[in-house]
Structure 1
Amino acid sequence: MPLPPGGGGTTPVIGIPVVTGVARSDSGAVYFLYSCGQGGLTGIWQIRRSGGPQLVVPLPADTMPNALVIDSKRNRFLVTDSTDGRIWQAHSDEQRIDIRMRVPRHR
């Protein structure tokens, strides 16, 4: 995976770049999450048949995505985010994301 300038020390929560949340679509495509603290690299990636990874849906740099679900009926991904208790909804055909749910902080 590509490292951001400085090696990714700005990755939220853990401070190092990390790959998480591997899932396979109904068509057999493999997707995973990558978090490195930089926009344009953090997001949902696909492993292409040619072997190289490709960013499919970028996520904000301040996210720490950790679990990935593919909802093929609605053509979307659901991504849990450890940074702020968010669940992102990412529409795979539009590269559009929004917060589906935010878990309230416990005090």
Structure 2
Amino acid sequence: MPNLLRPAAVLILLALPVGAMAHDWYPFTCCSNRDCHAIAESEVTAGPKGWVIRRTGEIIGYDDERLMQTPKQAGSSFHLCTTDGKPDGKAICLFVPQFGS
């Protein structure tokens, strides 16, 4: 790469939004590269039948195929994938961090 292009390439990379790589670990079936985002722990509650998504009242059962464990590379936060990425959209997947140990 010519020396003049290197600074331009670095500037382009720096200009990319920080979240551009955020979807790297989401399964395509949940995310479609746009539908998933981290959510606060306060937005979900463990109920007797499953995880309750507070903003919609939707319950993702403990044996529901939409329930997945947050991978270690994503940290220890909850992630929600909704139709069209809308905050009030129907849940496609809910990622729950591993608690304990």
Query: Normalising by structure 1, what TM-score?
Result: 0.24
Q: Which has the higher contact order (CA 8 A, sep 6+)?
A: 2
> Which structure is higher in strand share?
1
> Which structure is higher in helix share?
2
Query: Normalising by structure 2, what TM-score?
Result: 0.25
Higher Cα radius of gyration: 2
